[in-house]
Amino acid sequence: MTSPPTTQAMEQAERKPITVRTLRKMARDGEVFSSLTCYDATTARWLERAGVHVLLVGDTAAEVVLGYESTIHMPLDVAVALTAGVKRGAPNTMVMADMPFMSYQADDGDAVRNAGRFLTEGLADVVKIEADASLAPLVGKMARAGIPVCGHVGSKPQQVGLTGGYSSAGKTAAAAARIVEDACALEEAGCVLLLVEAIPPEVAELIVKKTKAPVIGIGAGPGCHGQILVLQDLLGLTDWQPGFAPPVVHLGEAIRDACRDWVKQVSRREATPHRYVMAPGEAEKLGE
Ligand code: KIV
């Protein structure tokens, strides 16, 4: 027998699925949509109940889930599996899968096949690639194969080996113009969404003005159609957050304190209030 659904679960089931069309309409109507990273089914369930529109299974999982120093260590198979978990937890939310470092840069054929895996095995609705105009032909191939793509421009964490660390982008007019050109080229090639990271607001606003795809911003000012943050930053679970992601709650400390209490309960033998009861008459036979 299965337990009856909770009110929370029923509300979640009633939500209309979020699609690219939904986001386009919201963008047209000036309604800002929200997006957070997510890497597991349980959290996805709560984020869908919170009304988040897009869940990104980011390659930041390499850092916040797997503990690496940078996003380039994200294994493709793990990313696909995590994506499917998120979609199972939040079936009515748009799930975007971040294509890991080296899953799309070396060979277009492999890139299209890997992107396809995110849709078939990973149940993703959209894949995201960190890109500039030079990847427009690849976006075209993916689009022709029926794969919805989000082009990520501005600061690109997968380039950390070249840049020497995470940093902002588009601070000079020339650099900003290149980012705008990249965004336009990617949209023209078929990107259904754009994501802009760590760029000045006026650069993001120019991209919003010059393109038709909904633009999701992270550290790119309030002018974007949607906003995204890394969930662990928002919830105060990371030891350091970028300036654009101040935590709204200090969940790390709350977890530490709750678990510290549990450790104390365990040490006092108070931690298991529930007792299983032996069948009548069986306890007496024990040890006979
Ligand atoms: O991987 C990720 O979490 C991202 C966000 C920072 C946008 O790409």
Provide the pLDDT for residue 1.
44
Annotation marks residue 31 as catalytic? no
Same domain, 194 and 260: no
CA 156 to ligand 1 center in whole angstroms: 9
Same domain, 49 and 180: yes
- 150-204: pLDDT as tens digits: 999 999 999 999 998 888 999 999 999 999 999 999 999 999 999 999 999 999 9
Minimum-distance ligand 1 atom for the alpha carbon of 37: 3
Q: Which position has the token pair 């493709």?
A: 76
Provide the pLDDT for residue 274.
87
**Would you say 17 and 92 are in contact if contact means Cβ atoms under 8 Å apart?**
yes
Residues of the chain with pLDDT under 50: 1
Same domain, 177 and 119: yes
Q: How far is CA 267 from CA 4, 184, 246, 257, 264, in A?
A: 36, 61, 36, 15, 5
Domain count of the chain? Answer: 2
Angle at 125 between CA 22 and CA 243, to 5 degrees: 80
Could you tell which of 64, 98, 149, 224 is best to mutate to test the pocket of ligand 1, judged by most ligand atoms within 8 Å of the CB?
98
Same domain, 27 and 154: yes
d(CA 41, CA 86): 4
Range of the domain at 196: 7-250
Return the amino acid letter for 227: Q
Provide the pLDDT for residue 39.
98
**Would you say 194 and 212 are in contact if contact means Cβ atoms under 8 Å apart?**
no
Provide the pLDDT for residue 48.
98
Identify the CATH number of the domain in which residue 132 sits: 3.20.20.60
Same domain, 243 and 120: yes
Angle at 23 between CA 209 and CA 87, to 5 degrees: 135
Provide the pLDDT for residue 226.
98
- 57-85: pLDDT as tens digits: 999 999 999 999 999 999 999 999 999 99
CA 197 to ligand 1 center in whole angstroms: 8
> What is the number of residues in the chain?
288
d(CA 25, CA 215): 13
Beta strands in the chain (DSSP E): 33-37, 54-57, 94-98, 126-130, 149-154, 193-197, 215-218, 226-229
CA 186 to ligand 1 center in whole angstroms: 18
Same domain, 160 and 226: yes
Which residues form the pocket of ligand 1, taking CB atoms under 6 Å from any ligand atom?
A: 37, 56, 58-60, 71, 98, 195, 197, 218, 228, 230
Same domain, 17 and 36: yes
Provide the pLDDT for residue 181.
98
d(CA 216, CA 120): 24
Same domain, 73 and 124: yes
Same domain, 227 and 259: no
Same domain, 17 and 47: yes
Same domain, 240 and 275: no
Same domain, 242 and 263: no
